[in-house]
Amino acid sequence: MEEHAVESRQLRYFAQVVESGSFSKAALVLRVAQPALSHHVRQMEQELGVPLLFRGPHGVQPTDAGNRLMLHARRVLAEFAEIPDSVRGLRALPRGDVRFGLPGTVSEILAVPLIEAAKAKYPDVRIRVVEAMSGYILDWLRKGDIDLAMIYSTSDPRGLAYHLGLSEEICLFASADLDGRLATDPGAVRFADIADLPMIVPGPGHGLRELIDSSAAGSGFAIRPAIEIDSYNQIKKLVERGIGYGILPRMAIDREVSENRFVAWRFVEPPLTRKVHLAYSTERPLNAAPRAVAQLSWEILRLLVRDKVWTARLPEGQAGLDLF
């Protein structure tokens, strides 16, 4: 019986179609004719005996078999990309694309210095930053849609490696006009102090909201929001207009506090903090370019804290980043 083998070129074409969501976009990226691209995918489906793609409401999407093939394709293509370095010895400088998932607040402070530093140190590495909430980022990391991530939650560690980067302070804040309504120690607040205040916080399911609710419940209280909105910027706008009090990471409001637009209180008994972790998959090899970017992001993270750009604390006794 004649046997057929799937070629690396076919895998590359298939992976690009899935990532692009259409044959026409993939053809432009790959610089091949669209009919040729369609032919290669059909040939793979014939050889494997299963449909790999279907046209859904959001463009071309993989079937269950296509999703499984995509996992293999990413691993195989990554290994192919490493062959030249493995044979000739490691290059002096890494090269390639690195997809980095960041929550919006982390991206706001980390993305620009990271991209600038990578451009100077690794000119052949291109970083693509993807912003989303931690839950989406974790899903993308497991699927192989991104290479690296900075995330808050480590509740589901399956197939992932985590490295604690920092712990950031979460604060209560208000416009200067509302300052006098909160009778508490200067700069400090307990959940008991805010039980009757009009609160503006993210909605249920948001990582920060889950942290707030858990900490409040541990103190015997429950937050009763006046307004729920997931956008940090919108929370700040509403607070600045005097509509209520907000709870956000200190670094998200540092500028407004320094400009005397906001007044902030740290939580005590217990303190309210959130941990930021560097994460990546242990199911796929971490190639030279993602490794270099991971190390660089780690160094920049620590510099931002030491230079007081990011109001946070570094883990005690932690040395360098030890990647798997």
DSSP string of 225-283, one letter each residue: EEEE-S-HHHHHHHHHTTS-EEEEEHHHHHHHHHTTSEEEEEE-SS--EEEEEEEEESS
* DSSP assignment letter at 56: E
What is the pLDDT, as a whole number, of residue 20? Answer: 86
- In-domain check, residue 2: no
Cα–Cα distance for residue pair 96/130, rounded to 1 Å:
17
What is the pLDDT, as a whole number, of residue 318? Answer: 65
Q: What are phi and psi of 115, to 5 degrees?
A: -65, -40
198 lies in the same domain as 211? yes
Could you give the percent of the chain with pLDDT greater than 70?
91
Could you give the percent of the chain with pLDDT greater than 90?
42
96: left (phi over 0), alpha (psi -120 to 50) or beta: left
Query: Which tokens hold the place of 124?
Result: 């052949």
Give the CATH number for residue 242: 3.40.190.10
Which position has the higher pLDDT, 135 or 179? 135
Name residue, tokens 């120690």.
185
Residue 2 has pLDDT above 50, yes or no: no
Name residue, tokens 């993807």.
130
59 lies in the same domain as 189? no
DSSP string of 163-221, one letter each residue: EEEEEEEEEEEEEGGGGGG--SSTTEE-GGGGTTS-EEEPPTT-HHHHHHHHHHHHTT-
**For 120-140, how does the pLDDT look when each residue is reduced to its tens digit (9 = 90+)?**
999 999 999 999 888 889 889
What is the pLDDT, as a whole number, of residue 155? Answer: 72
pTM here? 0.69
Task: Give me the domain span that covers residue 53.
Answer: 8-87
For the chain, the domain total comes to: 3
Nearest of 289, 323, 284 to residue 99 by alpha carbon: 289
Quick one: average pLDDT of 74-92? 68
254 lies in the same domain as 235? yes
173 lies in the same domain as 260? yes
- Sequence-distant (≥ 6) Cβ neighbours of residue 209 within 8 angstroms: 201, 202, 203, 228
